[in-house]
């Protein structure tokens, strides 16, 4: 309650201040930027056979769905710092959680900050930069105050009351381990329900001043673990006994280098098939609960007459495994962990219900949104604008997406890089010294057969390796050196209360 009251006062003060918006033109489109947490493509509009996601599916039908969109790093903090700065993790220097780019490249202008400088009201509700989940819910997390005029941090029963009831693989822990709870409380009592209510409240106020553009960032916490969601109706939509368990894991893993499976956690040895089904039920229920909140926000946009002049983005921060390759959660370089949902509605630009099939990166969001809105962007952004694809979905663009992940801890750290092209996924661990992988998505969309050792693919491998090395070069800053976190650098609220 305290947080909401404080932010309410701040927002009223800002909305009442006309001076800041003089530079903004009446024709500037608004931006509604929705990010779900740890959401893979278990969505109806991405062809999932079980997911009930009517609201996200409707959003896909209103605009363009990017079929092959990828994160730059399959972990919350590095990925969010990347797409909110428009730079690869090799250029932000943020490659683990609980850090923010102000500690490495403090003068860089973030995506929402670019809109602020153009006269937009920038509002954040919930998780946009990194937050520990659930511990940081109700706080600013590892936020960047320079990005926003207004920050709102609601907390619901999932944070305040229900943690002791959660089933977890690691006692006392909920955010880094698999954990779930079918809550008896309804949507409005949960954090994401409150986030949707707050978004509606902000939109109602923005609708009263339609000549003042806004950048509203809405960061939902679900389906991030703990999978706490209302039992009715969401858990009920996914009967435990109908949840599938991934089969053939041993055979699948036989052709993999150890680094490919490096995200496996010891506690996952405790998983029985019953627990696997319960976890999947909780993950799906959390997705459907979050989907309903997305529906609430979009309905408000429609009801208030804002939709005609508002660009809508829906995405997640990275993908997620639910047992594929024997893996759970994130931090792998397989399709499941790197592939993200990405939907865009740009009024007057994007066709309805269209699909872009060429690979794109979340890095591309920054130059796309600034181009659509006519907002000045920094000159060192590393992504491409997706506006040509919104206008003509057959535009090829770069035609690849690069994702990286770190292995080996601090002492023996090395990177894995993976390049996704329209047909192939090619992966090198420690420049190939710790293994290589090649998957043919035309024949093997689940990436079950690693073709890297087969002589008939040697030429393809050589070509992809060269292409990847070129891509990695583009991920570095002009001096070729990843910036490091320096002592004494300004850092907001990096400890949890």
Q: Where does this chain touch Ca ion (CB under 5 A) — which range of 231-239, 313-321, 437-445, 464-472?
A: 313-321
Site for Ca ion in 173-192 (CB under 5 A): none
Pick 36 or 168: Cβ nearer Ca ion? 36
Strand order in the sheet with 69-70: 339-340, 69-70, 360-361
For position 149 contacting Ca ion by CB under 5 A, the verdict is no
Q: Where does this chain touch Ca ion (CB under 5 A) — which range of 32-40, 180-188, 284-292, 426-434?
A: 32-40
Site for Ca ion in 126-145 (CB under 5 A): none
Site string for Ca ion, 357-396 (x = CB under 5 A): ----------------------------------------
Q: Where does this chain touch Ca ion (CB under 5 A) — which range of 81-89, 103-111, 204-212, 316-324?
A: 316-324
Rounded to a whole number of angstroms, the minimum distance from the CB of residue 12 to Ca ion is 32
CA atoms within 13 A on the CB side of 184: 2
Rounded to a whole number of angstroms, the minimum distance from the CB of residue 236 to Ca ion is 26
Q: Could you tell me the end-to-end alpha-carbon distance of the chain, in angstroms, rounded to an integer?
A: 17
Site string for Ca ion, 185-224 (x = CB under 5 A): ----------------------------------------
Among the listed residues 67, 143, 151, 317, the single contact to Ca ion using CB under 5 A: 317
| Residue least distant from Ca ion (Cβ) | 76
Burial class (CB in 10 A: 0-12, 13-18, 19+), 250: exposed
- Gap between the Cα atoms of 265 and 162, Å rounded: 25
- Gap between the Cα atoms of 315 and 60, Å rounded: 11
Site string for Ca ion, 264-303 (x = CB under 5 A): ----------------------------------------
Pick 175 or 435: Cβ nearer Ca ion? 175
Rounded to a whole number of angstroms, the minimum distance from the CB of residue 101 to Ca ion is 17
Q: Where does this chain touch Ca ion (CB under 5 A) — which range of 29-37, 339-347, 420-428, 476-484?
A: 29-37
Pick 74 or 193: Cβ nearer Ca ion? 74
Rounded to a whole number of angstroms, the minimum distance from the CB of residue 41 to Ca ion is 14
Quick one: how far is CA 257 from the chain centroid?
27
Rounded to a whole number of angstroms, the minimum distance from the CB of residue 317 to Ca ion is 4
Instruction: Report the 10 Å Cβ neighbour count for 342.
Output: 25
- Gap between the Cα atoms of 92 and 370, Å rounded: 19
Pick 206 or 228: Cβ nearer Ca ion? 228
- Which residues are known catalytic residues? 76, 130
Rounded to a whole number of angstroms, the minimum distance from the CB of residue 79 to Ca ion is 7
Site for Ca ion in 51-90 (CB under 5 A): 76
Pick 34 or 311: Cβ nearer Ca ion? 34
Pick 317 or 437: Cβ nearer Ca ion? 317
Applying CB under 5 A, the site for Ca ion has a residue count of: 4
Site string for Ca ion, 33-52 (x = CB under 5 A): ----xx--------------
Rounded to a whole number of angstroms, the minimum distance from the CB of residue 37 to Ca ion is 5
Pick 38 or 212: Cβ nearer Ca ion? 38
Rounded to a whole number of angstroms, the minimum distance from the CB of residue 98 to Ca ion is 13
Distances 313 to 129, 181, 218, 310, 364 between C-alpha atoms, Å: 16, 29, 10, 10, 12
Pick 194 or 224: Cβ nearer Ca ion? 224
- Residue numbers at the binding site for Ca ion (CB under 5 A): 37-38, 76, 317
């Amino acid at each position: 309650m305290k947080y909401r009251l404080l932010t309410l006062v701040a927002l009223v003060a800002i909305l009442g201040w006309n001076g800041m918006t003089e530079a903004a033109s009446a024709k500037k489109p608004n931006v509604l930027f929705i990010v779900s947490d740890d959401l893979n493509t278990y969505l109806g509009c991405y062809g999932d056979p079980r997911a009930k996601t009517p609201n996200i599916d409707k959003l896909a039908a209103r605009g363009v769905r990017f079929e092959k969109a990828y994160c730059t790093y399959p972990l919350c903090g590095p990925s969010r710092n990347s797409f909110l700065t428009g730079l690869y993790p090799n250029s932000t220097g943020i490659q683990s959680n609980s850090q923010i780019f102000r500690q490495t490249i403090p003068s860089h202008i973030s995506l929402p900050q670019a809109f602020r400088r153009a006269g937009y009201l920038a509002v954040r509700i919930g998780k946009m930069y990194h937050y520990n989940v659930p511990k940081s819910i109700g706080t600013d997390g590892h936020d960047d105050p320079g990005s926003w005029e207004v920050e709102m941090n609601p907390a619901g029963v999932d944070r305040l009351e229900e943690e002791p009831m959660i089933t977890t693989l690691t006692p006392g822990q909920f955010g880094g381990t698999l954990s779930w709870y079918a809550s008896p409380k309804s949507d409005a009592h949960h954090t994401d329900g409150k986030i949707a209510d707050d978004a509606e409240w902000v939109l109602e106020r923005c609708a009263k001043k339609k000549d003042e553009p806004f950048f509203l960032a809405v960061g939902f916490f679900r389906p991030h673990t703990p999978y706490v969601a209302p039992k009715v109706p969401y858990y009920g939509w996914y009967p435990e006994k109908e949840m599938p368990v991934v089969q053939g894991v041993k055979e699948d893993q036989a052709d993999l280098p150890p680094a490919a499976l490096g995200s496996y956690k010891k506690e996952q040895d405790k998983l029985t098939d019953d627990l696997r089904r319960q976890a999947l039920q909780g993950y799906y229920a959390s997705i459907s609960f979050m989907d309903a909140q997305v529906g609430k926000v979009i309905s408000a946009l429609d009801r208030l007459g804002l939709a005609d002049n508002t660009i809508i983005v829906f995405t997640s921060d990275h993908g997620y495994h639910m047992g594929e390759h024997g893996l759970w959660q994130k931090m792998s370089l397989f399709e499941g962990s790197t592939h993200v949902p990405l939907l865009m509605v740009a009024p007057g630009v994007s066709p309805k219900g269209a699909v872009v099939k060429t690979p794109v990166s979340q890095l591309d969001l920054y130059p796309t949104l600034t181009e659509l809105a006519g907002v000045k962007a920094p000159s060192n952004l590393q992504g491409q604008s997706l506006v040509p694809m919104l206008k003509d979905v057959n535009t090829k663009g770069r035609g690849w997406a690069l994702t990286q992940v770190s292995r080996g801890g601090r002492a023996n750290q090395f990177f894995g890089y993976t390049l996704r092209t329209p047909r192939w996924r090619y992966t090198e661990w420690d420049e190939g010294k710790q293994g290589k992988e090649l998957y043919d998505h035309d024949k093997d969309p689940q990436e079950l057969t690693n073709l890297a050792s087969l002589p008939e693919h040697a030429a393809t491998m050589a070509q992809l390796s060269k292409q990847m090395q070129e891509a990695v070069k583009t991920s570095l800053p002009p001096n070729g050196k990843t910036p490091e976190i320096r002592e004494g650098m300004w850092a907001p609220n990096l400890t949890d209360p």
